[in-house]
Structures are given as structure tokens and as C-alpha cells.
Structure 1
Amino acid sequence: MSKFVNGKLQICPFVVATDDLKAYTSPDFHEDYQGISFDIEAGCVMAVGKMVTVDVSKDIDDLANTPSIFNIVRNPDASCKQMLVDMSQRKIVIKLPLDDFYSYKAMSATPMAQPILNSLTIIPALVYVLEELRALSIQERSENSDSLWYKVLAKALLTQFDCDIESEDFNNQNLLVLAQKLINNPIADAFTFLTSSFGASGGDE
């Protein structure tokens, strides 16, 4: 289940009765309930603790292997025939035209086709997002710090490439190369899959 946990994790502790309790009473009751007893069924919540919020930010591998910061959806605008990217939400939303979306869904059932899908969708989406961030001032970039996608990208860039997204060094990066590295260079695997599927051979003519 850990692969589904990412972003803000809210933990709320409960005290729950594990058995039926007949005529339950306690000297620690509030004075309004002193001397009163209760019949409590197993599973009843008897106390609630303070909720704690924990930030869970995963490693770079999640960018390639799970939909940790991407949400690929059908664009409800039927007139739009291009892929669009929305970075205003918790995750990066990739909107595909209707036919393309259902083609994506069909291909996503084949693990071997994932490098192709990443090359067609995730890489251009990442390039777009990285370019949009580079166009912002460092202060404006940090305004995205509450977004899950920004936290994951910032951590991946810093820990794997020693690149601080909120520094001038980020402005000098080749963003196309960086986007490919972030998801483990899927283009080579995509070509390998295509050549094997269509019986083509690599190498120079």
C-alpha cells in the first residue's frame, strides 16, 4: 500500500473497544458523567487523539514507475485536439483528446508499452512544467511549494542531480535532457520496444 501514499498524510489516532463492555464506568470521567455507566459494543470509538499531518515526498523512481505527480485525464473539451498540461493543481494534469485518451488507456495495460507512453506524454509535460518554472522568478517558484508535484520535483532534482530548483543554476539546465533523466530515459526503451514489435533492426544503414 505504500506506493499509494504520497503528499500530505493525515494521521488521526483512535481508542477503540476491542470487546463488548458492560456497565463501563471510570473515575476519570468528566464530572457530568460521574457515577454513570455505559454498555459499549466492540468497535465503538471511545476517544480521539489529535490529528497529525505528515508530508510524504518520495524518491525519483516514483516519477517513472507510478503516477505519483501525474494525472492523465480525458479533456472534456471535445473541440481540443492537442494534449494540454495543467500545473495549477496538486498533481500535474495531462489532458488528452478523447480518442488519444482511450488509446492511452488501452496501451497502459501493456507494461512493455510504458516507455512509449512516457515518451509521448510525461516527457513533453515535464519539459512544459520545467520551462514554465524557469520563466518565473525564484520567489514565484517557491509559491508552488505546497503542491505535491513541486515538492517531488524539487526533491528529485536536488538529491539526484544536485540542482536546486530555486537557484540560478536551474536556469542554466538543458530542460529536455533533464526531463528525460527524471524518468529514467524512456526513449531508448521505447525504440527497443518498437523495433522488436515491428521486426525492424537498429544500426546504421
Structure 2
Amino acid sequence: MEIKYKLYPYPVLSSYSDDYKNGSFDATIDVVRDGYNYRLDFLATLTCQSLLERIKNGDAKYVYHLECAQTGFRTVIQTDQLSETYTLFSQTVNGKLQICPFVVAVKDLNGYSSSDFHDDYQGEVFDIEAGCVLAVGKMVVLDITKNTDDIANTPSIFSITRNPDTSCHQMLVDMSQRKIMIKLPWDDFTNYSALQSLPEAQSILNSLTVVPALVYVLGQLRAQSPDERNENNSDTLWYKVLSKTLSTKFDCEIESTQFDALNFMELAQKLVNDPLSDAFKFLVNSPTSSGGEDE
């Protein structure tokens, strides 16, 4: 969605019109990388007193329209606060993300008027329906270019196999090999293989296998000194990829005390693009789901 210069049947505060003689509206939008995802920080600047009063009274809100043409992603963020934060998941966008800031009526405004109107509108009143635009800011375009060579999008550092020990009925993790070996009991591996062909089930598989395996590996690394981490694991592929990912995506060196202070349960989920939410959605929307309600 691109903001185009347009005329409204009522006064709208914008940089390209003189409908208001006083005040201005715009928004600063900062993007901060949060692992594979992005944190969007919004800060609105509104100097029109009459519109500020409308927001304070609950008649209007700041609205940010986000749209990525390449992926079809589209969402709207509403807030009555000058500052707002939103987490943008990397799988939803790729390429240019357009963000359009508005002030929008959230209630019907009958007899809408303002002393800030241009002199030509003084004494005029307007009936504004909920959802109508009251102010328009400048569109911001962010270039969200994804790097597909990461833990979340490649199976390069994991190898999920059947445990040859038939007496073992638990998942085991071996980090001594070139890849992180996830060994499943015989029946579990058979079920895993059947689900692996379903792309929509990948989030469930990652939640059940990769996330706990990463928690284990990260915990084992923390038990080693920074020098031992490099000495014991530098020859493995998984350590090189994990070290690079933590450095470039999370601004954390694996051979540092900063690494020791991380929450590994949270980090493990972020490293594979937070699969838990998608897993729950898949389960709830599956044909066998009862909707979570008791009969």
C-alpha cells in the first residue's frame, strides 16, 4: 500500500495539504534485529492539539499499516500510545516492507470540527465514520533481505537418525560429531520419518527434536570454559555455524561471558525461528482437533 496524494471529503492532517493551519503528524520507525526476527520501534510525533485530544478520549488511534508485496504479508497495528513496539517474524516478509502511519477514527465522530482547521473550514462540521483517516504520515520503506544460510532454514548442522540401541526409549543428543546427532528410538524415528514429508508439520518436529537438542548443546557449552569451547568443538561443522549465527544474528560471541548469561530455552527457540506458535496453530487447525473444549 502506497500513500498517494489524495483529497478527502473532510479535512485531513498531512504534509501535502493545508487542511489544518496548525500541527503536523509523522512517525519515526526503527528496525532492530532480534535473532532471525526484527523488532519495529514506532515513535509518533503529533503536534495537533485537537487530534491529541481525540486520541486521549479514545475516539482515534495511531495506526500503522504494514505490507510486503513479495510475500503477501499485511497487518495493522493500532495503539493510543506515542511509542509502540512490534515483533516482525522473518518468515512473514522478504524484500521491501512498506509501513504507512495514520491517525484513524475508531468511533463514529458526529459533528467533527476543530479550531485547527484551515480558515476555509472554520465553522464547518463533518460526520466521520469509524475507520476513516484523520491524519497521514510519510510512508517508510524497509528492506528486509533474509539470509537463507542459517540454522532455521537449513538442516546442515543436525542429523536425525534411529538409535541402533533398541533398549533405549529416549531421545539422545551427540555433539561429538561433525553435525549434532539426534538419535530417536526405533518407533519414534519411524513416526518422525512419516511426518517429515509434510511441510506443515515441520514446526512440530522442530519443537519436539531440534529445540530440546539445542538447549542441551548450549547447556553443555556453558559448562565448558570459553577456551575449552573452541578447543573441544572448533573442528565440528555445527560449532562453526552456531558460533557464526550467534555473532551475526544475536551480536553474541560464543566464547565470551555474555554467552553464559543467555536464557538458553529462549535462545534455542529463536535459533529455529520460534516454531512453537506454528506447531500449536497446526495442531489446533488439524482435522482431528476438538477445539480445546470439553464435551
TM normalised by structure 2 equals 0.47
What displacement does 1:199 show? 3.9
What displacement does 1:67 show? 1.2
What displacement does 1:62 show? 3.3
Find the partner of 2:256 among 167, 179, 185: 167
- Mapped contact 1:138–1:166 kept (Cα < 8 A): yes
Question: In structure 2, what is the Cα distance between the partners aligned to 1:199 and 1:129?
Answer: 33
Question: In structure 1, what is the Cα distance between the partners aligned to 2:226 and 2:290?
Answer: 47
Question: In structure 1, what is the Cα distance between the partners aligned to 2:229 and 2:240?
Answer: 11
Q: Hey, what does 1:178 align to over in structure 2?
A: 267
Find the partner of 2:160 among 59, 72, 75: 72
Q: Hey, what does 1:4 align to over in structure 2?
A: none
The total of aligned residue pairs comes to 145
- Mapped contact 2:151–2:157 kept (Cα < 8 A): yes
Please give the residue correspondences for 1:79-90 in structure 2 after superposition, counting only pairs within 5 Å.
79-90=167-178
Question: In structure 1, what is the Cα distance between the partners aligned to 2:158 and 2:269?
Answer: 15
Please give the residue correspondences for 1:96-111 in structure 2 after superposition, counting only pairs within 5 Å.
96-111=184-199
What displacement does 1:200 show? 4.8
Question: In structure 2, what is the Cα distance between the partners aligned to 1:91 and 1:132?
Answer: 15
Please give the residue correspondences for 1:108-127 in structure 2 after superposition, counting only pairs within 5 Å.
108-127=196-215
1:145 aligns with 2:234: yes
Higher relative contact order (CA 8 A, sep 6+): 1
Alpha-carbon distance change, 96 to 135 in structure 1, aligned in 2, over 3 angstroms = same
Tell me the SS of whatever aligns to 1:63.
coil
- Mapped contact 1:87–1:93 kept (Cα < 8 A): yes
Q: Hey, what does 1:94 align to over in structure 2?
A: 182
Question: In structure 1, what is the Cα distance between the partners aligned to 2:259 and 2:207?
Answer: 22
Q: CA offsets, 1:104-147, max 9 Å, x none?
A: 00000000000000000000000000000000001100111121
Runs of 4 or more above 2 Å deviation: 59-62, 198-202
Gaps of 5+ in 1: 1-58
**Quick one: which amino acid aligns to residue 135 of structure 1?**
A
Question: In structure 1, what is the Cα distance between the partners aligned to 2:236 and 2:155?
Answer: 15
Question: In structure 1, what is the Cα distance between the partners aligned to 2:187 and 2:241?
Answer: 30
Please give the residue correspondences for 1:192-203 in structure 2 after superposition, counting only pairs within 5 Å.
192-197=281-286, 198-201=288-291
